[in-house]
Every structure is written in C-alpha cells, then in structure tokens.
Amino acid sequence: MVSLRNLADRIHNTAKMKGFWKAPTMMDVYVAKICLIISEGVEIMEALRKDQGAQKVTEEFADLFIRALDVHHTLAQAGLADPNLELAIQSKMEKNDRRPVMHGHRWG
C-alpha cells in the first residue's frame, strides 16, 4: 500500500525537478497579495453567512478595495499593469453593457 507520505515525497520531488520550488521571487509576493484580495471576498461572504451586519459587510468591501488598489498600484509601478484603472473600469462597464443577459453564461 502506498502511503500518503510516499505519494507526497514523489509529488514534491517531481515538482522540484520541474522547477516549481525555486527561490521566491517578487511574482510570488504579488500572488500572495492577490490571494489576500480573494480572502477579503471570502470575509464578505462570511459576514453575510454569519449575519454580522451591514457595517461589517461594508468594512470587508473596504478591505477588498484597499488591497486591490494597493496591489494594482504596485503592479503598475512595476510595469506589470496599466496604471489607468479608471479607464479600464469604464471600458469594461461599456463592454458589459453590450454583452447578452448573464453574459451568455448559465449562471453567475
């Protein structure tokens, strides 16, 4: 019988050989920060799920926007994102106006 530890050893060795465990780079930091934006979305959901009140929900939205704007600013300064976020939002809103109901998706 194969143990989970043996499977993990094999999986990890393969991942190392394929270059997935190199020394961390700034991209790894950016990805961690992006995960924190996602975590704020989860906190909004949890505030609703646990009926923590409208103020808590809005605070978590504030957290999400603060983190998103901070990460976007950092990526823009590094040349990894277009700095004109306002224009991108406006363009996306105009694009969404032209899309079909539910953007042609089954749900969401």
Please give the residue ranges that form the binding site for Mg ion (CB under 5 A).
Answer: 43, 60, 63
Tokens of 62: 């504030």
Q: By C-beta, is 44 or 76 nearer to Mg ion? A: 44
Q: By C-beta, is 37 or 60 nearer to Mg ion? A: 60
CB of 13 to Mg ion, least distance (A): 37
Neighbours of 47 (CB within 10 A): 19
Q: By C-beta, is 37 or 43 nearer to Mg ion? A: 43
The single residue listed with the structure tokens 């999400």 is 64
